[in-house]
Amino acid sequence: MNYIFKLSVRNVLKNKRRTILTFISVTLGLFLMIFSKALMEGVAEESTRNLINYETSHMKLFARGYFKDIESLPTNKLIENPLALEKKIMENKHVAGTTHRAQFAISMSDSINELPCIGLGIDIKKEADVFTTGEIAIDGKHLVENDDGVIIGKRLADDFSVKTGDWITITAWTTEDSINALDFEIKGIFKSNSPMLDGNVVIMPLKTADELIVLNGGVTEIDIKLKNGKKIEKAKQSLLSTINASGEIYEIIPWQKLAEDILQFITVKKYGGDMMGLIILIIAGVGIINTILMSVFERIKEIGMMMAMGMKPKEIRKLFMMEGFVIGLFGSIAGCVIGVLLTLAFSGGMDFSYAGDMMGEAFGVESIIYPSLTAGMVLAYFLLGIVLCTLASIYPSIKASKFEPVEALRK
């Protein structure tokens, strides 16, 4: 096998121009796959952090049956006395913090325009124990205790052409099946880069939400932050065994289930980046087939001589497959090195601010993306490059092994 490897390296180096072109294709395909994967992993990680920090927390606790109707934001399935339940939840060893919120359907009006939105009542004191919404105000200020105003997302403010200090009217159905309308001052405008939060949600103190829709101290959800976000299923089962000991009255939904649609969208985008590099690798594979096949026909006499000297057809196949392996090996090494170096070069972040709000609208992230790469990802792409190139050499190697020695020597 050693002499076959040496012979294959010599043959690959013999026709430099064809080899270099094929080598470049393999290198280009791999480094594009690695770098695009690193970018998308960075996007996915930040998007996940934003989801957890602004919207879903690690998990939410609902009254039994609320989640199946969550899209209609029902207010007839409330959690009564949330503080007592949170105290019980905080006794669990997995839990780092809790808060409670109330979400409900509203209509927002500025006397000219009207738009259906989501009202979000928050506990001003406890919100920071789970969420970081207090850090995203870009105009005015975040809500403070005893505030009686609201804050809205930048996208919603732009749609309504309102600013901090303006007044809006919010109309909603109460839990008593009556309509209530109240006027609120916009205390601040925030930007979270979440299309849903920035474009649809009006945040207000929980006591204000209670006055608007008559919650009577109830909430629609308890949000739970864990000490270790990777132990969600274990924490969920532990909590359920405690809080539902007296009966099946609550359900806990992890963030992955709450953000299922968004995660599927991100996954599709990640595969899209992989496909671009894979197409280039396939083109490189076609180039390898062409390179080795041309090499076969140029070396017919040489193949006949090797067969006449006792080299068996399977050894001929090994020789030409080894040539594909050699091109794949060195192309993969170069592609991985360039991909890793490029990722490290942009580890301080890639600025996509020239694209405006595209990154926020598409992925729910800031305009600066931090590529993320693991050794496992690099190894997987390295092996992929070698395997594809080796597979591409199968047909030419079979072709070479089918020559008859006598006929080959006459060519």
Q: pLDDT per residue over 306-334, tens digit each?
A: 777 777 778 778 877 888 888 888 888 99
Average pLDDT over residues 374-383: 88
Looking at residue 354, what is its pLDDT? 61
Answer yes or no: are the C-beta atoms of 98 and 224 closer than 8 Å.
yes
Query: What residues are paired with 253 via a beta bridge?
Result: 60
Q: Give residue 184's pLDDT band: very low, low, confident or very high (50, 70, 90).
A: very high
Of 309 and 388, the one with more pLDDT: 388
For the chain, the distance separating the N- and C-terminal CA atoms, rounded to the nearest angstrom, is 28
Average pLDDT over residues 262-270: 70
Q: Given a cut of 80, is residue 249 above it in pLDDT?
A: yes
Looking at residue 296, what is its pLDDT? 66
User: CA–CA separation, 368 vs 199, rounded Å?
Assistant: 21
Give domain limits for the chain. 2-51+262-410, 59-228
Q: Given a cut of 60, is residue 246 above it in pLDDT?
A: no
Ranges 134-138, 213-217, 296-300, most confident = 213-217
For residue 30, which of 396, 322, 276, 319 has the smallest C-alpha distance?
276
CA distances 286 to 21, 56, 280, 386, 397, Å, are: 12, 47, 10, 14, 14
3-state secondary structure of 161: coil
Looking at residue 279, what is its pLDDT? 75
Average pLDDT over residues 152-162: 89
C-alpha gyration radius of the chain: 31
Q: What sign has the CA pseudo-torsion 115, 118, 122, 127?
A: negative
pTM of the model: 0.76
Looking at residue 170, what is its pLDDT? 94
Looking at residue 402, what is its pLDDT? 74
b/e sequence 114-139, b meaning 16+ C-beta within 10 Å: eeebbbbbbbbebbebbbebeebbeb
* Mean pLDDT of the chain, nearest integer: 83
Average pLDDT over residues 268-287: 68
Q: Given a cut of 90, is residue 283 above it in pLDDT?
A: no
Ranges 184-188, 297-301, 363-367, most confident = 184-188
Q: Residue 270 burial by CB count (10 A; 0-12/13-18/19+): exposed, middle or buried? A: middle
User: CA–CA separation, 47 vs 363, rounded Å?
Assistant: 6
Answer yes or no: are the C-beta atoms of 113 and 197 closer than 8 Å.
no
b/e sequence 58-95, b meaning 16+ C-beta within 10 Å: bbbbbbeebbeebeeebbebbbeebeebbeebeebebb
Looking at residue 311, what is its pLDDT? 76
CB within 8 Å of 318: residues ≥ 6 apart = 1, 4, 397
Average pLDDT over residues 191-199: 82
b/e sequence 354-385, b meaning 16+ C-beta within 10 Å: eeebebbeebbbbbebbbbbeeebbeebbebb
Looking at residue 407, what is its pLDDT? 64
User: CA–CA separation, 341 vs 347, rounded Å?
Assistant: 10
Q: Given a cut of 60, is residue 142 above it in pLDDT?
A: yes
Longest dimension (CA), the chain: 98
**In this structure, what token pair is assigned to residue 42?**
């960075």
Q: Give residue 45's pLDDT band: very low, low, confident or very high (50, 70, 90).
A: confident
